[in-house]
């Protein structure tokens, strides 16, 4: 088969699209004929190299994909050849105390397709049966591939961990990215008053289309000051921050008393100073969130499949142009997801 792959860490030019051994499903695994894959910033970080993550080379990146079941190993009863499926990347053991309580993303051995083990940006991929979600007829492959990681991440952040309720004020940073644009839609769906940041007027207009009530161009004004003015000095009830170090202080400043900041990542850098006085005096909550439980995945994707949520796609490219797809994420070009299609499917 043909697969996106790299044999060493580095810039986008280490990526190749070429021959790779055909995968064979083991017990509990399913072979998927991939029709489309989608990129996340995780793919860029994995390609560059992550501390403590020692990959088997060559490595196939990719945590998001959708396609058709081609075959299965033993002990698979949920799927059969011809079924339409999407991939959810988080792999849990199913046996530890967290898995037994349905908290799969807290699993003691939790790891991700495309980050810790070979991913799904290839013509075929083998994944655990538990990591597949049925895709109804009528849902196109690009939508099915672009949705799982970002919508499950945003859903758990806002709804499960963040406990968002109607009428609250929410600030979503980086609303033009995958998680950001999903978070805007979910916050709007929940009945919140949504503030969103992005770096261009075009991206801000897209954020409005996704449900943002107020937009802030962070390239032209300080978002912390804009929130102070826009809320008459009160602040927002929740900040969705997946940027990290560059935004952390202003995120805390933007919170109302008793507010909470929810974070799922740090694309701008992981190490930031925290004003502890502000945290305890204003009784703020700092909440971490990673991916989602399998039940949360089912819940949010059902709302993608019925059209409640709409993953925005900025570009669709052949997998042979994976390097260009990675560069689009690194350079923060456009709004929404970047999708790659196996060359044989184009």
DSSP, residue by residue, 165-234: -TT-EEEESSTTSHHHHHHHHHHHHTT-EEEEEESSHHHHHHHHHHT-SEEEETTTS-HHHHHHHHTTT-
- Supply the DSSP string of 303-337, one letter for each residue: HHHTTSS---EEEEEEGGGHHHHHHHHHTT-SSSE
pLDDT grade for 267, boundaries at 50, 70 and 90: confident
Average pLDDT rounded to a whole number, residues 166-193: 96
Confidence class of residue 129 from pLDDT cuts 50, 70 and 90?
Answer: very high
Q: Which residue bears the tokens 């142009």?
A: 321
Of the pLDDT bands very low, low, confident and very high (cuts 50, 70, 90), residue 333 is confident
User: Helix crossing, 201-210 with 178-189: angle to 10°?
Assistant: 40
> Residue 26 pLDDT > 90, yes or no?
yes
What is the structure's pLDDT at 338?
96
> Residue 334 above 90 pLDDT?
no
Q: Write the pLDDT tens digit of every residue in 221-248.
A: 999 999 999 999 999 999 999 999 999 9
- Residue 332 is predicted with a pLDDT of 84
Return the closest-CA partner of residue 38 out of 63, 1, 68: 63
Residue 342 has pLDDT above 90, yes or no: yes
What per-residue confidence (pLDDT) applies to 20? 97
Do residues 230 and 237 make contact, with C-beta atoms less than 8 angstroms apart? Answer: no
Mean pLDDT of the chain: 96
Question: What's the pLDDT band for 346 if we cut at 50, 70, 90?
Answer: confident
Name all domains of the chain by residue range, CATH numbers in brackets: 2-147+311-345 (3.90.180.10), 151-288 (3.40.50.720)
Give bridge partners of residue 120 from the DSSP assignment.
Answer: none
pLDDT of residue 167: 98
pLDDT for residue 105: 97
Q: What percent of the chain has pLDDT over 70?
A: 100
Arithmetic mean of pLDDT, 180-196: 98
Reply yes or no on whether the pLDDT at 268 is more than 90. Answer: no
pLDDT of residue 221: 93
pTM higher than 0.85, yes or no? yes
- At residue 164, the pLDDT reads 98
Question: What pLDDT is attached to residue 44?
Answer: 96
Average pLDDT over every residue of 260-282: 94
Considering only 50-54, 261-265, 301-305, which range has the smallest mean pLDDT? Answer: 50-54
| Torsional class of 207: left (φ above 0), alpha (ψ -120 to 50), beta (otherwise) | alpha
What the block records as the tokens of 202 is 């075009």
Look at residue 62 in the predicted model and tell me its pLDDT: 98
């Amino acid at each position: 088969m043909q697969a996106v792959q790299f044999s060493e860490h580095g810039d986008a030019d280490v990526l190749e699209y070429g021959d790779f051994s055909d995968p064979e499903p083991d017990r509990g695994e399913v072979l998927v004929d991939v029709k489309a894959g989608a990129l996340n910033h995780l793919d860029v970080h994995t390609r560059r190299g992550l501390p403590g993550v020692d990959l088997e080379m060559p490595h196939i990146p990719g945590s998001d994909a959708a396609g058709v079941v081609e075959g299965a190993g033993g002990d698979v009863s949920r799927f059969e050849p011809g079924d339409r499926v999407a991939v959810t990347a988080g792999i849990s053991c199913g046996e530890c105390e967290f898995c037994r309580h349905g908290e799969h993303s807290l699993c003691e051995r939790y790891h991700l397709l495309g980050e810790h083990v070979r991913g799904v940006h290839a013509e075929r991929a083998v994944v655990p049966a538990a990591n597949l979600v049925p895709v109804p007829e009528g849902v196109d492959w690009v939508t099915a591939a672009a949705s799982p990681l970002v919508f499950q991440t945003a859903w758990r952040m806002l709804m499960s961990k963040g406990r968002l309720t109607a009428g609250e004020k929410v600030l979503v940073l980086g609303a033009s990215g995958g998680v950001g644009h999903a978070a805007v839609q979910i916050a709007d769906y929940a009945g919140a008053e949504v503030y969103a940041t992005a770096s261009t007027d075009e991206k801000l207009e897209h954020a409005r289309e996704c449900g943002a009530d107020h937009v802030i161009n962070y390239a032209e004004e300080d978002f912390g000051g804009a929130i102070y003015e826009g809320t008459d000095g009160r602040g927002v009830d929740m900040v969705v921050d997946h940027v990290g170090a560059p935004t952390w202080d202003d995120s805390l400043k933007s919170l109302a008393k008793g507010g909470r900041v929810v974070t799922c990542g740090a694309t701008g850098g992981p190490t930031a100073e925290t004003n502890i006085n502000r945290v305890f005096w204003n009784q703020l909550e700092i909440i971490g969130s990673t991916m989602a439980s399998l039940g949360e995945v089912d819940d949010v994707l059902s709302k993608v499949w019925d059209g409640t949520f709409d993953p925005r796609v900025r570009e669709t490219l052949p997998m042979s142009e994976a390097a260009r797809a990675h560069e689009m994420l690194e350079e923060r070009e456009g709004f929404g997801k970047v999708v790659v299609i196996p060359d044989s499917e184009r």
